[in-house]
Structure 1
Amino acid sequence: MRSHFCGLIDESLIGQTVTLCGWADVARNMGGLVFIDLRDHEGIVQIVAEPSDVAGNAEVLAVAAQIGYEDALCVTGIVRKRESVNNKIRTGQVEVVATKIEVVNKAEPLPFHHHENPGEDVRLKYRYLDLRAPEMQRKMRTRTKLVATLRRYLDERGFQDIETPILTKATPEGARDFLVPARMHPGEFYALPQSPQLFKQILMMAGFDRYYQIARCFRDEALRADRQLEFTQLDMEFAWVDEKIVQDTVEEMIREVFKEVIDVELVNPFPRMTYAEAMRRYGSDKPDLRIALELVDVAELVKGSEFKVFTDAANDADGRVVALRIPGGASLSRKQIDEYAAHAAKYGAKGLAYVKLDEAGAINSPIAKFFAEDAFQALLAAIGLKNGDIAFFGAGAYNKVSDFMGALRLKAGKDFGLIAAGWAPLWVTDFPMFEWDEEEQRYVALHHPFTAPAVDSIDDLRANAKAAVSRGYDMVLNGNEIGGGSIRIHSSKMQSAVFELLGIDAEEAQAKFGFLLDALKYGAPPHGGIAFGIDRIAALMAGSESIRDVIAFPKTTGAQCLMTGAPSEVPDKQLAEVHVRVRKE
């Protein structure tokens, strides 16, 4: 139907006849002259409908005068140079004088206009209209280019693209599985994969050496701006490697991809930081290094105070007392300070102490009365508090304090304009092997139960499980974890020992992971890998705060597809075929 794309019409085509297809973005009837901005996925070009003695077609102007927003059109015309150049668009040097306009499909009045800012629920309900918008087209094309560049990079380096099953076995660790009833096996279920983890390890044992897959994964968990029920990841695995080989390979890949897709040069090499240091300095295992603010541990300086909240945490081996100085923060009102306390409470804080030092050096603090004068001055000096600053304090269990003070650091960075421009990549390494789950009274794997510990001896691991460090690593970019991986356990005995520490007894381990334990017995090579979140990387590249903007048909935070109405009820007859009955409360 068309000879050219709208957004690719340029001066080289002046004098030529072209046929274009697209949507009417804007139609301006000037009375005897109609201008139409015709839009397709490549961009916009101006169409001009002039009186018949110029265009040579008496019907063109009449048709053009009736065109409305988002009408689907097919336009034939002659390219000419514009009198008034529009440097804001790629085709701004030229226009097309219409000789024929066909309204292929007249659009009814739309529920929203692209030039408006409708709510996200409206955008998702009419996603097919939302995706037509030039900005959404740009974001989705960024994602397409990202995936194509990753594939090309890996194909050129001998990685094999191998598909792994979508219908697989339910696992007892990690997020909740999506379950699929097995019609031919009454009472039994498949699970949709949370990742291809075990299959890619099996592929290494099968001798494929270097694997990748653009994999669809599923997790039945709460949604947020950077999380969906179904998502896409670049899954990779290597045989006969250690951490350095994996990290160096994928770091080079990410640098090349960012350069090719959005012309950004990332630092070489990426800095490295241990998990312990990241939590100590930033309160996060994915710190945004564009924000210069750091946490300051002050437990030793508050042990002698009369403030029980501080002294209890300071004298607890698993406690923490920490301060965050915000330059210029003395400008915060009491209401704004309460808002900061409410924000910290979302992450577990029971309260938020503070010290303000106004421009004249006067102290405003509800905790000053609990300190001797010299001790309080020593505390302020250790924090580095200056006139015009505020310092917030957190006290309690180490991990909880780190979490809410890390969240406070991010909020302060945004509120006070302290986020530097540019890109700040980082490797975070040496994660804890386990964390203790108070509710279940057992260890759980911080990454997953197949991550290798940084010890060779099973006895050492059992004796020091609480302090054990894993061979896991995450790639972080601007405060987002974009990739996570580890060196895997390649010994059947070590894997069984880890299962045991996680509360998975031998019988359950055999039932759930017997195929893996068996495979590890037959000459399994050392191996490791990583998985990158395609959605998160695409969102960062596109400059979007939500991964929903780079997913064609995402779910809402309520786990619904507003366009199709999923999830929905299923007829009893269909449920009976898969041996399922719904029990309503």
Structure 2
Amino acid sequence: MFQKRTHTCGELNENDIDKIVILNGWIDRIRDLGGIIFVLIRDRYGKTQAVFDSSDNYTLYQKALKLKNEYVVSIQGKVRVRPEKDKNPNMVTGNIEILATNLEILSESETPPIYVNIEEDISENLRLKYRYLDLRKERMQRNLILRHKVMKITRDTLSAEGFLEIETPYLTKSTPEGARDFLVPSRLKPGNFYALPQSPQLFKQLLMVSGFDKYFQIARCFRDEDFRADRQPEFTQIDIEQSFVEKEDIFALTEKLIKEIFEKSLNYNGLEIPFQKYTYDEVIQKYGSDKPDIRYGMEFIDLTAYFQNTEANFIKNGIDKGLILKGFIVPDRSNNFSRKKFDDLTEFAKEQGSSGLIWIACDKEMRSNIKKAAAKEINILVERGIMKEGDVLFAILEETDKIDQILGQLRIKMIKEEFEKKSGFSIIWVTDFPMFSWNEEEQRIVAEHHPFTMPNLDDLAKYENKDPLKIKSQSYDLVINGYEIASGSIRIHKQDVQEKVFDILGLSKEEAQEKFGFLLEAFKYGAPPHGGIAIGMDRLVSILVGEESIKEVIAFPKTASGTDPMTNAPSEVSEKQLEELHLALKKINESEKQNDSKS
């Protein structure tokens, strides 16, 4: 038996002077000053300094000489105040130390392949291979502790609102309408497969049909997506569904939950509700993105009217042909832009699909690639206060359906390159997304969110057979600092509407019945109006703790290629396992491997 701790390593203070205490933890640092050894002992609560003094206990001092970083120990000692010159205001326990009277080495450690007590620039692969060491770091422990707080606040808040936490199946039916499913072969039904859920979408709707009017779940979701930056094949979402609601009810509930999370996990009281609301069309026209970070401003300006009669012929001719001249101001940055930089940005704009880039730098001496031909128009922009000294204006001349997307990419580039990261939080709702979009690769209409979103019924009646891409949906996203944090919608609850949506998506009645017959059947027996939202737990926590990557708030994430360097997952399985599942592997050649990696 070892001596169990009486206190954690982060709780002792001057009120504990002269107490005999026992601490358990890891050795964080050792300072041997010759005759006296100072040891920092660490657990997830903090660090405390222990002193081994040869003049006080030589035998114990000799034992302490064997200590190394990351040894697991139990230290008994007497709490005393540190000398004034040795107090450390950066430590919670920095005013006290323990004069050790006993030491047990509970577990030794080899020299670790990564440092635990300092932040160092090491490869992601090494960090993930030794994740159990990486997770000992103060930063990582702080992140996961805050994640736990968010989960607890979520459960407490929603439970207080009358919501029930109900689990839905992990082994379910494959309905590949979005990303690829992760498939699980059935041993008992050879040739049949379960799928891991991409979301609990259909089950939570069935719970509404079942009469559970307020549901939530902290749900694990799985998507077999192609390699993309900062995506994980398994992720967590706060899943919420409610009956007899309109979207305003979902807004109010979500705002209350987000406000509670910010206040109770971060002690941040600066959120004002209700959050600002924009339609999808508004954010695209103003920022060129459906998830803009509006902290940086730079709203788009339609400059067409100012340049209709310009002597810059290419602009005038373009406007006469129906093109739009549109741009945005980068404020107080003109000194940052050289001619080479403008040339590089012009190439960037062309890569995004623009025919070129117009730029105006409002210095004491105006600089512009249209200065001679459009001097009059430039002066008007300054006179009317659209530009001021120090500003840079970027504009492009393009077709209406292309211009916002191109400017949006340029705006994002300016935010990344020209501005320091802003503090604070910008939270907005984006509503009324298109119900459908055109998939160029598959050459077909697809659902913008998912096929269970309620369309705008007036739009459905008007455009169903004419132009379904004009149909808006009753959907909404919550955007924080340029990240989509949550997505939801009012759902379809009528069989005829659901069948119309399937028809627009090109699903035959037979296909719809085979894939979603259980849902259509449920709608026959009285389905209430309902709606909901799913909040991305990983991204929300990463924003709260100020991390760029969601991997920093997940205990055991995968690499960008979906692998786990620690366990070597995914891995091959034995022939016996394959036989039990009635599976056989097909050998693929190098060209097939390359095609798979590109797909």
- TM-score bracket, normalised by the shorter chain, equals over 0.9
CA deviation string 1:25-56 (max 9, x = no partner) = 110000111111111000111111112x42xx
CA contact (8 A) 1:354 1:390 kept: no
Q: How does 1:217-236 map to 2 (within 5 A)?
A: 217-224=221-228, 226-236=230-240
Give the direction of change, closer, same or farther, for the CA distance of 1:342–1:58 in structure 2 (3 Å limit). farther
Matched with 1:446 is 448
Equivalent residue of 2:469, what SS?
coil
- 2:390 maps to which of 388, 391, 394: 388
Distance 1:32 1:569, change over 3 A: same
Q: 1:372: Cα distance to partner?
A: 5.2
Q: Percent identity?
A: 43
Question: In structure 2, do the counterparts of structure 1 residues 313 and 50 end up closer, same or farther at CA, with 3 Å as the change threshold?
Answer: farther
Whether contact under 8 Å (1:292, 1:418) holds in the other structure is no
Structure 1, 304-313 or 110-119: larger mean CA deviation: 304-313
Deviates more, 1:485-494 or 1:250-259: 250-259
Partner of 2:91: 89
Deviation at 1:208, TM superposition (A): 0.5
Q: Tell me if structure 2 keeps the 8 A contact 1:290–1:419.
A: no
The residue number in structure 2 matching 1:174 is: 178
Moved more, 533-542 or 181-190: 181-190
Partner of residue 291, structure 1: 296
> Quick one: which of 241, 247, 250 aligns to 2:254?
250
Deviation at 1:108?
A: 1.2
1:398 deviates by 5.0
Instruction: Specify which of 254, 274, 277 is matched with residue 269 of structure 1.
Output: 274
Contact between 2:459 and 2:471, CA under 8 Å: does it hold in 1?
no
AA partner of residue 459 (structure 1): A
Aligned-partner Cα distance in 2 for 1:251–1:384 = 35
* Residues in 1 aligned to 2:103 and 2:463: alpha-carbon distance in whole angstroms: 75
Give the Cα separation in 1 of the matches to 2:457 and 2:562: 41
Contact 1:233 1:532 in 2 (8 A): yes
Counterpart AA for 1:43: G
Equivalent position to 1:325, from 317, 325, 329: 329
2:479 corresponds to 1:476: yes
User: How far has the Cα of 1:582 moved from its partner?
Assistant: 2.3
Equivalent residue letter for 2:408? G
For residues 302 and 466 of structure 1, do their structure 2 counterparts lie closer, same or farther at Cα, with a shift above 3 Å needed? farther
- Report what 1:488 is aligned to: 491
* Counterpart code for 2:409: A
Provide the residue aligned with 2:407 in structure 1. Answer: 405
Change (3 A) 1:397 1:565: farther
- CA RMSD after TM alignment: 2.5
Are 1:78 and 2:78 matched, yes or no? yes
Distance 2:267 2:192 in 1: 50
Q: Which amino acid aligns with 1:187?
A: G
Deviations 1:512-553 (A, max 9, x none): 111111111221110000000111111111111111000000
The equivalent residue for 2:520 is 517
Aligned mates of 2:148, 2:344 — CA distance in 1: 40
- Cα contact 1:352–1:392 (8 A) shared by 2: no
Deviations 1:36-80 (A, max 9, x none): 1111000111111112x42xx332211222322222221111111
Q: In structure 2, how many angstroms separate the alpha carbons of the residues matched to 1:314 and 1:439?
A: 33
Deviation (angstroms), 1:255 = 0.7
Q: Offset of 1:554 from its aligned partner?
A: 0.5
- 2:25 corresponds to 1:22: yes
Partner AA of 2:43 in structure 1? D
- Give runs of aligned pairs for residues 19-418 of structure 1, distance below 5 A: 19-51=22-54, 53-54=55-56, 57-83=57-83, 84-114=86-116, 115=118, 116-224=120-228, 226-265=230-269, 266-299=271-304, 315=321, 321-330=325-334, 331-337=336-342, 340=345, 348-349=352-353, 352-357=356-361, 359-365=363-369, 371=373, 373-374=375-376, 384-396=386-398, 401-417=403-419
Letter in 2 for 1:264: Y
CA distance in 1, matches of 2:436, 2:178: 13
Distance 1:148 1:344 in 2: 46
- String of CA shifts for 1:348-376, please: whole Å, max 9, x gaps: 345651313252232231x557x555456
- Distance in 1, Cα, partners of 2:448 & 2:583: 34
CA contact (8 A) 2:459 2:472 kept: no
Q: CA deviation at 1:571?
A: 2.6
With over 3 angstroms needed to count, the CA separation of the structure-2 counterparts of 1:312 and 1:354, relative to structure 1, is closer
Alignment of 1:451-462 (within 5 A): 451-456=453-458, 458-462=460-464
Mean Cα deviation higher: 483-492 or 557-566: 557-566
Normalising by structure 1, report the TM-score.
Answer: 0.92
CA separation in 2, counterparts of 1:255 and 1:310?
50
CA contact (8 A) 1:539 1:546 kept: yes
* Aligned-partner SS, 1:60: helix
Change (3 A) 1:458 1:47: same
Which piece of structure 1 moves more, 329-338 or 297-306? 297-306
| Distance change >3 Å, CA 271–CA 310, structure 1 → 2 | farther
Question: Aligned partners of 1:381, 1:500: CA distance in 2, in Å?
Answer: 55
Give the match's secondary structure for 1:521: helix
Give TM-score scaled by structure 2 length.
0.90
Distance 1:313 1:182 in 2: 62
Name the count of aligned residue pairs.
Answer: 577
1:78 aligned partner, one-letter code: K
Name the counterpart of 2:597: none
Change (3 A) 1:130 1:314: farther
Q: Which runs of 5 or more residues in structure 1 are unaligned?
A: none
The structural deviation recorded for 1:176 is 1.4
Q: Tell me the secondary structure at the aligned position of residue 561 of structure 1.
A: coil
SS in 1 for 2:22: strand
1:498 equivalent in alignment to 2:501: yes
- SS at structure 2 position matched to 1:564: coil
- Provide the rounded CA distance (Å) in 1 between the counterparts of 2:459 and 2:378: 48
Within 2, Cα distance between the matches of 1:358 and 1:199?
A: 57
Supply the AA of the counterpart residue of 1:269: P
State which of 520, 526, 529 in structure 2 corresponds to 1:526. Answer: 529
The amino acid that maps onto 1:453 is P
Give the superposition deviation at 1:403.
Answer: 3.5
Provide the C-alpha distance between the structure 2 equivalents of 1:289 and 1:527, rounded to a whole number of angstroms. 31
Change (3 A) 1:559 1:493: same
What amino acid sits opposite 2:138 in the alignment? Answer: P
2:470 match: secondary structure: coil
Distance change in 2, residues 1:394/1:521 (3 Å): farther
